[in-house]
Amino acid sequence: MSTANSDVLGGRMPVSKPGEPAGPGATGRPPGLRAVGRRLRTGELGSWPVAIGLAVIWLVFQSLNENFLTPQNLSNLALQIAATGAISVGVVLVLLLGEIDLSVGSVSGLAAATLAVLTVRNGVPDQVGILIVVLICGLIGVVHGLIITKVGVPSFVVTLAGLIGWQGLQLYVLGPQGTINFPYEGFVAWLTHTNLTKASGWGLGVVTVAAYLAALLLDQRRRRAAGLPLRGIRQVVFRVWLLAVGVAVAVAVLNAWRGVPLALVILVGFVVGFDLVLRRTRYGRSIFAIGGNVEASRRAGLNVDLIRISVFGLASAMAAIGGILAASRVYSAGQQSGGNDVLLLAIAAAVIGGTSLFGGRGSTYAALLGMLVIGSITSGMLLLQLGSAERFMITGAVLLAAVILDSLSRRGRRASGRE
């Protein structure tokens, strides 16, 4: 049964080009090098370019300033990317649909302002206030989605109106007194000014790796029981080893300063959680399908409008969470919350991390990786005592490189798809 399957699946079409590698009959999934070769040709690069780019950036900054790769600087970096990273996770979802949300910056500012007004001025408990704010902003996203799907206005324009309008509402909510401070000892401030103890940092790391290993082994067992081709044992070991080393290094470095920041745990939690939703649920599969081919999704019976609306809702809710984290970090919400380059960096991070602007390709890890790149550039520039001028130019160049890579790999996909 299993051999018959792999024969057929591993078999090559008689008309395919000579030299085209046959699919791997033994594993069902392309192993190591061959897969990389195929991905290069077909434009399925995933996160590799940004991971390599990040390594290069780190090496360059470390060679220019030995303080760059220190536990203190890396801990600060982790804290700095948490807020915009959370916003970027929502942007990834929208980009996967092939849409855009320009309002996330304003919505994050509105969220921070509303939370401050609710909790500081009106005495609503912090946790309740956060819940209310996230829900309100989710509804804002739903309104965007309704206008986009039911009226048929392009998301670019609807969310551009949102960008301006919600910023106005933010100013209105704050009133004449421009800035509201959160108490230093409150829950909101606690969110980004807390570190896990060293032991719980290690514990969390061990649990993460163990959970990943268990999921892989369980998958292998079910595949074997179903008579499906298995992943090579080397591949399993390599993946677990890679994750374990990554987690161990991260925890060790962060523990060498003040411990793993809670804000980073929150961000990674959202990244991993949404990644599981995207790859392991029907809902997530629908998002990818709509980003790939709307008409095919409609014919397959997916409720395209509902999914689009819900994604805009999620993006705005994530923007709210990012806005709250940002406010927590500076102990205040004000007229400038969510302004400046928050929107641009959130979108840039998603794209730099490898999410396609054309829809249907990417993952929430792109938000994390992209934010690490942007945060590293910012942090490195500060260490080198360079100003915003250089920072913007370099970030812009990196973004441009990412978009060019996206377009090139799209061209590669087309070429190989046409065959």
Partner 1 sequence: MAPAPILSLSGISKRFGAVQALTDAEMAVHPGEVVALVGDNGAGKSTLIKVIAGVNPADTGEIRWDGRPVSIGKPHDATVLGIATVYQDLSLCDNLDVVANLFLGNESVRFGALDEIAMERRASELLNSLSVRIPSVRVPVAALSGGQRQSVAIARSLLGEPKVVMLDEPTAALGVAQTAQVLDLIERLRDRGLGVILISHNLADVKAVADRVVVLRLGRNAGEFRMGEATQEEIVQAITGASENAVTRREARVVGAAGATEVDR
18 binds partner 1 (CB under 8 A): no
CB of 410 to partner 1, least distance (A): 10
Task: Report residue 138 CA to chain centroid gap.
Answer: 18
11 binds partner 1 (CB under 8 A): yes
What minimum distance in Å lies between the beta carbon of 226 and partner 1? 5
Segment 185 to 224, residues that bind partner 1, using CB under 8 A: 219, 222-223
Closer CB to partner 1, residue 361 or residue 391?
361
Residue with tokens 């790149």: 373
Nearer to partner 1, 80 or 355 (CB): 355
User: What does the alpha-carbon distance between residue 235 and residue 80 come to, in Å, rounded to a whole number?
Assistant: 34
| One of 154, 168, 183, 227 touching partner 1 (CB under 8 A) | 227
**Site residues (CB under 8 A) for partner 1, limited to 384-413:** 413
- Minimum CB distance to partner 1 smaller for 94 or for 251: 94
**Pairwise CA distance, residues 273 & 265, whole Å:** 12
> Which H or E element spans position 309?
helix 304-330
Residue 13 lies near partner 1 (rule: CB under 8 A): yes
Instruction: Say how many residues touch partner 1, by CB under 8 A.
Output: 50
Which CB atom, from 29 or from 121, has the smaller least distance to partner 1?
29
Question: How many angstroms separate the CA atoms of 400 and 226, rounded?
Answer: 45
Compute the least distance from the CB of residue 98 to partner 1, in Å: 10
Closer to partner 1 by Cβ: residue 131 or 217: 217
Query: Is the separation of the CB atoms in 351 and 370 below 8 Å?
Result: yes
Residue 294: which of 280, 279, 305, 282 has the closest Cα?
Answer: 305
Q: Closer to partner 1 by CB, 219 or 341: give it.
A: 219
Give the span between the Cα atoms of 93 and 194, in whole angstroms: 28
312-327 core/surface letters (b: 16 or more CB in 10 A; e: else) = bbbbbbbbbbbbbbbb
**Stretch in the footprint of partner 1 (CB under 8 A) among 281-289, 319-327, 341-349, 391-399:** 281-289
If the CB atoms of residues 23 and 186 are measured against partner 1, the closer one turns out to be 23
Nearest CA among 34, 130, 65, 35 for reference residue 327: 130
Give phi and psi for 165, each to the nearest 5.
-65, -45
- Does 19 participate in binding partner 1 (rule CB under 8 A)? no
Min separation Cβ 302 and partner 1, Å? 5
| Adjacent-strand bridge partners of 333 | 180
Supply the minimum distance, in Å, between the C-beta of residue 248 and partner 1: 28
Nearest Cα neighbor of 110 from 161, 163, 162, 169 is 169
226 binds partner 1 (CB under 8 A): yes
Q: Which of 348, 321, 179 is nearest to 263 (CA)?
A: 321
Residue 417 burial (CB count, 10 A):
9
Q: Is 9 in the site for partner 1 (CB under 8 A)?
A: yes
For residue 333, what is the enclosing H or E element? strand 332-333
Q: Pattern of binders to partner 1 over 330-369, x per CB under 8 A?
A: ------------------------------xx--------
**Rounded-to-integer distance, Cα 202 and Cα 314, Å:** 31
What sign does the dihedral 71-72-75-80 (CA atoms) show?
negative
- Beta strand extents in 93-216 (DSSP E only): 180-181
**Does 282 help bind partner 1 (rule: CB under 8 A)?**
yes
Is 8 an interacting residue with respect to partner 1 (CB under 8 A)? Answer: yes
By CB under 8 A, is residue 239 in contact with partner 1? no
Q: What are phi and psi of 214, to 5 degrees?
A: -60, -45
Q: How far is the CB of 115 from partner 1 (least distance, A)?
A: 31
Residue 121 touching partner 1 (CB under 8 A): no
Instruction: Provide, rounded to whole angstroms, the least separation between the CB of residue 417 and partner 1.
Output: 4
The one-letter code for the residue type at 289 is A
The Cα–Cα gap between 156 and 99 comes to: 8
Q: Judged by CB under 8 A, does residue 154 bind partner 1? A: no
Of 184, 185, 299, 389, the one binding partner 1 (CB under 8 A) is 299
Binding site for partner 1 (CB under 8 A): 4-5, 8-16, 22-24, 28-30, 38, 42, 44, 219, 222-223, 226-228, 280-282, 285-286, 288-289, 291-293, 295-297, 299-302, 360-361, 413-414, 416-417, 419
